Amino acid sequence: MFSIGGRTMHLDETDVKILKAITFDARLSSRQIAKQCGVSIGTVLSRLKRMERDGIIRGYSALLDHEKLGYELTVVTEITVTKGRLLEVENEIARLSNVCCVYDVTGLIDAVVIAKFKNREEISKFAKRLLTIPYVERTNTHVVLTTIKEDFRII
């Protein structure tokens, strides 16, 4: 079960099977998904359409190997924001190239940003750019040394 706009919705076993199939290969045809999940093509098409409409499926994309594309450096940046302007700052940061994730968090800091870069010079420019954003009080940037797991496919 999940909630969208105050509505409680239910995913059944077939929905979860379909989501698993497309999560691991979004290029599968409806016929292939149907065969893999043991349901009809019509069931797959209607379930996909419903989950797209309900916002469960927000789009389809390829999983890229960022390192092979030259983005060998990942940073995790903690950000402290002043004057209650957190969402405004986060939205501005989210528009920056290289930014993969922006999280509003609890604790001593206000936000965490994950970004990927090709070299140290890009990281330096990024860190300095963050400090020019109005209401950013402080940042603390960590360079990732080793990525043990990086996979958002949890279904």
Give 95-149 pLDDT, tens digit per residue.
999 999 999 999 999 999 999 999 999 999 999 999 999 999 999 999 999 999 9
Strand pairing category for 111-117 and 99-104: antiparallel
Cβ-contact 131, 81 below 8 angstroms: no
Structural domains for the chain: 2-53 (1.10.10.10), 73-143 (3.30.70.920)
Distances (CA, A) of 154 to 11, 64, 100, 151: 15, 17, 17, 8
Task: State mean pLDDT over 17-32.
Answer: 95
Which positions ≥6 away from 18 have C-beta within 8 Å? 33, 37, 39, 44, 47, 48, 51
Task: State mean pLDDT over 12-37.
Answer: 96
Task: State mean pLDDT over 70-99.
Answer: 97
Residue 155 has pLDDT above 80, yes or no: no
Give the pLDDT confidence score for residue 10 in this predicted structure.
84
Cβ-contact 101, 83 below 8 angstroms: no
Give the pLDDT confidence score for residue 65 in this predicted structure.
92
DSSP 82-96: -TT-HHHHHHHHHTS
pTM (predicted TM-score)? 0.82
The residue type of 43 is T
Give the pLDDT confidence score for residue 13 in this predicted structure.
95
Packing angle of the helix pair 41-53, 30-37 (nearest 10 deg): 110
Q: What is the average pLDDT score of the chain?
A: 93
> What confidence tier does 8 reach under pLDDT thresholds 50, 70, 90?
low
CA gap 141, 73 in Å, rounded:
12
Residue 66 has pLDDT above 70, yes or no: yes
Give the pLDDT confidence score for residue 111 in this predicted structure.
98
